[in-house]
C-alpha cells in the first residue's frame, strides 16, 4: 500500500469516529455541500487544511451528491522552507494543488497596528478571487471545533460581544460565493493525533514575522493561544467545558438576554418588557 493510501485508510479506519464521521456530520448538519457545487479547498499548508483536503478527496470519490473540487494554495510570501514543505506534503499525499503567488507579506510588513487583521482580510479576498477564476462557487476553510470555542471566548473577552464562527457564510463582497467550514465538528487534538500517527510534518505558522513557528503543533503567543491555554486549564476541572461552550452557541435563551443585534439593528429587553 502506498503512503498516501495508508493516510487515507487511517482517516476511514483508525480515526473514523474522531475525524471522518465528524467531517461528514458537519457537512450534513449545516448543509455545506449541494449538488453541482464547485468547491475551492483552501490549503495553508498546516495540519488542519491538509487533513481537510484528504477528507475532501475521499468524499469526492464516494459521495452520492456530485460536486467538483479544486485544491488551492495561496503563497503570501512563504520562506523557502515553508513553501517546499507544502509542495513535498502535497506530493506525498497526492493532493493536486494549484499554488498561486501574492505579495501579502510584503504589504503587511509596513502595517504597524493590525498586521494580522489586514493579512487575514487580504488572504480571504485573494482566495475568493482565485476560486471564482477557477469556476468555484464556494471556498472551504479548515477552521475546526477548537477554533470556534476560542473565537467565542475572544469575542467576549476582547470585543465585548458574543459572536461565534459560523459554519457557513454568504460572501458580502463576492456575488454568488459562499464560505464553508467542513471541519467545524472536528477537534484539534484528533487532527494532531492523526498527523503524528502518520509521521507527517506540516508548517505551523507561515508568517515571516514569526519565523520561529516553522514546524510543530503550537503557535506563538497570540490571543488565540491564550484562549487555547485557558480552555485546557478549565477542562481539568470540567472535561465537558468546551462542549458546553459549543452547545451554548446553539441554545441561546433570548428571554434572558439584556441586548442583542439583528441585521445591524439593536434590540433591548426593555423594548418589550412592559408589553407582557
The CATH number that applies at residue 67 is 3.40.50.620
Q: What is the pTM of this model?
A: 0.90
The CA R_g of the chain, rounded to the nearest whole Å, is 20
The enclosing H or E element of 10 equals helix 3-12
pLDDT for residue 115 is more than 90: no
Domain, as residue range, for 111:
3-273
3-state DSSP call for residue 140? Answer: strand
Mean pLDDT estimate for the chain: 90
Alpha carbon 92 to chain centroid distance?
Answer: 22
pLDDT reading at 198 higher than 50: yes
Bridge partners of 138, per DSSP, are 39, 178
Residue 112: predicted pLDDT: 64
Task: Report strand pairing: 68-75 vs 38-43.
Answer: parallel
3-state SS assignment for residue 195 = helix
pLDDT of residue 214: 42
| Residues contacting residue 168 through CB under 8 Å, at least 6 positions apart | 30, 31, 32, 178, 179, 180, 181
Give the residue from 42, 16, 12, 52 showing the smallest Cα distance to 184.
52
Domain count, the chain: 1
Contact 103, 125 (CB under 8 A): no
DSSP state of 77: S
pLDDT of residue 111: 67
**pLDDT at position 208, please?**
55
Residues 72-96: pLDDT tens digits? 999 888 889 999 999 999 999 999 9
Mean pLDDT over residues 214-228, rounded?
A: 65
Amino acid at each position: 500500500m502506498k503512503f498516501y493510501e495508508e493516510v487515507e485508510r487511517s482517516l476511514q479506519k483508525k480515526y473514523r469516529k474522531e475525524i471522518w464521521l465528524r467531517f461528514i456530520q458537519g457537512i450534513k448538519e449545516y448543509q455545506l455541500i449541494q449538488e453541482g457545487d464547485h468547491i475551492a479547498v483552501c490549503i495553508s499548508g498546516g495540519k488542519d487544511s491538509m487533513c481537510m483536503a484528504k477528507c475532501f478527496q475521499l468524499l469526492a470519490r464516494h459521495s452520492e451528491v456530485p460536486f467538483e473540487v479544486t485544491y488551492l494554495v495561496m503563497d503570501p510570501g512563504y520562506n523557502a522552507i515553508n513553501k517546499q514543505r507544502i509542495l513535498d506534503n502535497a506530493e506525498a499525499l497526492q493532493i493536486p494543488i494549484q499554488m498561486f503567488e501574492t505579495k501579502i507579506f510584503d504589504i503587511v510588513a509596513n502595517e504597524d497596528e493590525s498586521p494580522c487583521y489586514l493579512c487575514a482580510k487580504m488572504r480571504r479576498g485573494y482566495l475568493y478571487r482565485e476560486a471564482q477564476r477557477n469556476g468555484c462557487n464556494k471556498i472551504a476553510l479548515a477552521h475546526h471545533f477548537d477554533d470556534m470555542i476560542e473565537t467565542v471566548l475572544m469575542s467576549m473577552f476582547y470585543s465585548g460581544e458574543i459572536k461565534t464562527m459560523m459554519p457557513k457564510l454568504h460572501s458580502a463582497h463576492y456575488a454568488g460565493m459562499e464560505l464553508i467550514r467542513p471541519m467545524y465538528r472536528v477537534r484539534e487534538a484528533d487532527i494532531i493525533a492523526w498527523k503524528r500517527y502518520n509521521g507527517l510534518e506540516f508548517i505551523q505558522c507561515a508568517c515571516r514575522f514569526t519565523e520561529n513557528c516553522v514546524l510543530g503543533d503550537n503557535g506563538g503567543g497570540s490571543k488565540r493561544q491564550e484562549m487555547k491555554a485557558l480552555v485546557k486549564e478549565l477542562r481539568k476541572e470540567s472535561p465537558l467545558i468546551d462542549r458546553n461552550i459549543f452547545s451554548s452557541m446553539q441554545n441561546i435563551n433570548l428571554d434572558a438576554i439584556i441586548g442583542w443585534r439583528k441585521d445591524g439593528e439593536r434590540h433591548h429587553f426593555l423594548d418589550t418588557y412592559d408589553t407582557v
